[in-house]
Amino acid sequence: MSIKSVITDSVKPLLGFSLLLLSPLALAADKPLNVPAISMFFIFVVMTLLITVWAARRTRTTSDFYTAGGGITGFQNGLAIAGDYMSAATLLGFTAMIYMSGIDAYIYMVAFFAGWPIILFLMAERLRNLGKFTFVDITSYRLNQRKIRTMAAISSLIVVCFYLVAQMVGAGQLIRLLFGLEYTLALFIVGGLMIIYVTFGGMVATTWVQIIKACLLLFGGTCVMLLAFSQFDFSYDKLISEASAVHSLGTRLVHPGSLLADPVTAISMGLGLMFGTAGLPHILMRFFTVSNAKEARKSVLYASVFIAYFFNVIAIMGVAAIVIVGQNSSFFEGGELGAALLGGSNMVAMHLAQAVGGNMLLGFLSAVAFATILAVVAGLALAGATAIAHDLYAEVYKRGDVTEAQELRVTKIATACLGVVAILLGMAFEHMNVAFMAALAFGVAASANFPVLILSMYWRNLTTRGAMAGGYGGLLSSVTMVVLSKSVWVDVFGFAEAIFPYTQPALFSMPVAFGLAYVVSMRDQSAAAERERAAFADQYVRGQTGYGAATA
Amino acid sequence: MEKNIYAHIRNNPKFDELVTKRRRFALVLSAIVLVLFYGFIMQVAFFPEVIAMPIGSGKLTYGVMAGFSQFSFFLLLTWLYVRRANTEFDRLNEALIDDAVTGGQA
């Protein structure tokens, strides 16, 4: 495809979207159109589409497409990782959780953060030294390429799809509330823009969308936090006394409560969040966009700083909202304190923005939330498309015998298909509670991707059979447990009682994966197993030193 | 060619030095993170009233302080690791590869 046609193709949909947004058809009957929010979001879209045009010129090879040619700096990648990791659920969900249950949500955020140092200490440099495009390159490094790639690509796609559905349904509902656009139209905008970013701009465009979005998110959150905190003279004591004076929990706001009711729930949640982070394909993929292990380490440091900072900003926002939003009757249904919050409980952060900064800040934060969804969805689609085109098509189906052009074409088709699938799944799940999807994505990532990945990097004795048993065992057990848990068995299927009593399966499914991988590998006496064990020595040297690592 | 280099690196005593030093450092730091984090989760699960205990005369409580301390302390450990790995370990690593490449050609 020539550059010229890439550019015109990138600009055409842009015009289409502007017409779509201005068209009266876009109006949902029950919500007023939010003009400042839509204009600010429109500016974001124009900027990111221009970047996509620029990125399209730089995307010629598969390496450009999957990993931006390894040319992203540690600082840029740190911002992009933070952008990938902090979704709209982080901004809206965590603010709402703090607002409702106090310290439980703060403990949750610590768990969401604590995986990052572990990723740095145990995984970052080996990931960069051994991988090329996907984490599957590492797990299949010395094992049977076709079997391991098939398995790891399947579990990657499962994680990506569940994460995508959660994002799409959230996006549709959020955009309806914030912008007054119809649910289905919102899905088409998100899906359409995602396809444009990824197919034309690949990893370069996706990275810059993440970076811009991360900056907007950090800036918007900081503004709301400072304005809100200033009403308490920036005093923690004053903030907490006023909040516990008006909250229904009172002083029990700082006492752990229902979210972490029992030890098993608490520990399983901690494991799932910590090691799930270390098994998310779209996050792991970001380690291949930097030039070497040095930059990979720096990216984790920067990402951790942004994530830790923003989680604390959100905590202050949530507590301040208890007083500022919770005591303002105009934010409640029927103007009555204590009734349901307008737009549902996830709107706490938005109401707070309006209360402290008026319609402009509300519009800005709404645009940021939309941008956030778009960026996360683009990162997921790229990871999914890479699993399909690189792992399944090029390496498994074609056994590595493909041209760059063929592989690139398949990647673009896969991206478009994932976009369509995301829109369709978004429609199918519109009226369903999709809270379990995130638990499932993290559970599968922690139980299927992480054990095989870490063992392949550290354990000489891992064989193909062991990795297959561990990977499929972790995948099946985690999916089964989530299906049997309350959020699916009772809330979706309507049975009276859950068979699996916890929400997060990691505490049980991770030992299944590690146990199976260990037992099967140790009992594997095949000739292939001997070769695989012998190949560990060279892999070990490359993992440690980076000699022979993919450079482009 | 690459296999030769890997063998060369493996037989260099500097390789053992690099691997041992870096592994010890990474494991100690990981152990600190895991013990502090899961210790905290255990406290939440088994002694929730401790989490709500006030510290000092103000409104600050143990749980909030422990959470905030983990954010800050883990960041400090992250910084320490990156600083040492990107200077000391990387210098050792480069010397190791140089040795192997020149040794492999000689």
pLDDT in tens, A476-498: 999 999 889 887 888 878 888 88
pLDDT band at B104 (very low <50, low <70, confident <90, very high): low
Chain A residues inside the 8 Å CB shell of B58? 236-237
Which of residues A15 and A466 earns the better pLDDT score?
A466
**Is the model's pLDDT at A167 over the cut of 80?**
yes
Which of residues A59 and A151 earns the better pLDDT score?
A151
CA distance B59 to chain A (A): 5
Q: For chain B, how big is the Rg over CA atoms in Å?
A: 22
Distance, C-alpha A147 to centroid of its chain: 27
**Is the model's pLDDT at A23 over the cut of 70?**
no
List, in order, residues 6 or more apart from A431 with CB less than 8 Å away. none
**Is the model's pLDDT at A2 over the cut of 60?**
no
pLDDT in tens, B31-84: 999 999 999 988 888 888 888 899 888 889 999 999 999 999 999 999 999 999
CA distance B47 to chain A (A): 9
- What ipTM is given for this predicted complex? 0.93
pLDDT of residue A259: 66
pLDDT in tens, A122-147: 999 999 999 888 899 999 889 988 99
Identify which of B86, B15, B95 has the alpha carbon closest to the alpha carbon of residue A538.
B15
Identify which of A253, A300, A429 has the alpha carbon closest to the alpha carbon of residue B59.
A253
pLDDT of residue A429: 84
Interface test with B, best of A104, A291, A510, A541 (most B CBs within 10 A): A541
Residue A460: how many other CB atoms lie within 10 Å: 15
pLDDT of residue A31: 57
Which among A107, A262, A548 is the nearest to B67, CB-wise?
A107
CB A383 within 8 A of CB A155: no
pLDDT band at A3 (very low <50, low <70, confident <90, very high): very low
Chain A residues inside the 8 Å CB shell of B34? 118
Which of A150-154, A185-189, A269-273, A335-339 is the least confident region? A335-339
List, in order, residues 6 or more apart from B65 with CB less than 8 Å away. B55
Which residue is associated with the tokens 């891992």?
A462
pLDDT band at A32 (very low <50, low <70, confident <90, very high): low
Domains and CATH numbers, chain A: 3-436 (1.20.1730.10)
Determine the Cα–Cα distance for residues A294 and A73; give it in Å rounded to an integer.
10
**Is the model's pLDDT at A148 over the cut of 90?**
yes
Average pLDDT over residues A190-204: 91
DSSP letter assigned to residue A500: B
**Is the model's pLDDT at A441 over the cut of 80?**
yes
CB of B79 less than 8 A from some CB of A: yes
pLDDT in tens, A505-542: 999 999 999 999 999 999 999 999 999 998 898 888 88
- What pTM did the predictor assign? 0.90
CB A366 within 8 A of CB A179: yes
Contact B85 A118 (CB under 8 A): no
Residue A296: how many other CB atoms lie within 10 Å: 27
CA dihedral of residues A92, A95, A101, A103 (deg, nearest 10) = 140
Identify which of A315, A349, A347 has the alpha carbon closest to the alpha carbon of residue A332.
A347
- A427: tokens are 């429609």
Average confidence score pLDDT of chain A: 87
Decide: helix, strand or coil at residue A341. strand
- A243: tokens are 């909040």
Which residue is associated with the tokens 């070990």?
A540
Which of A34-43, A184-193, B89-98 is the least confident region? A34-43
List, in order, residues 6 or more apart from A44 with CB less than 8 Å away. A212, A216, A367, A370, A371
Q: Where are the domains of chain B?
A: 2-105
pLDDT of residue A433: 67
pLDDT in tens, A295-338: 999 999 999 999 999 999 999 999 999 999 999 888 888 888 87
Contact B6 A263 (CB under 8 A): no
Q: Please report the residues numbered 8 through 37 in chain B whose beta carbons come closer than 8 angstroms to any beta carbon of chain A.
A: 9-10, 15, 18-19, 22, 26-27, 29-30, 33-34, 37
pLDDT of residue A551: 64
Identify which of A334, A366, A338 has the alpha carbon closest to the alpha carbon of residue A351.
A366
pLDDT of residue A435: 65
Which of residues A24 and A106 earns the better pLDDT score?
A106
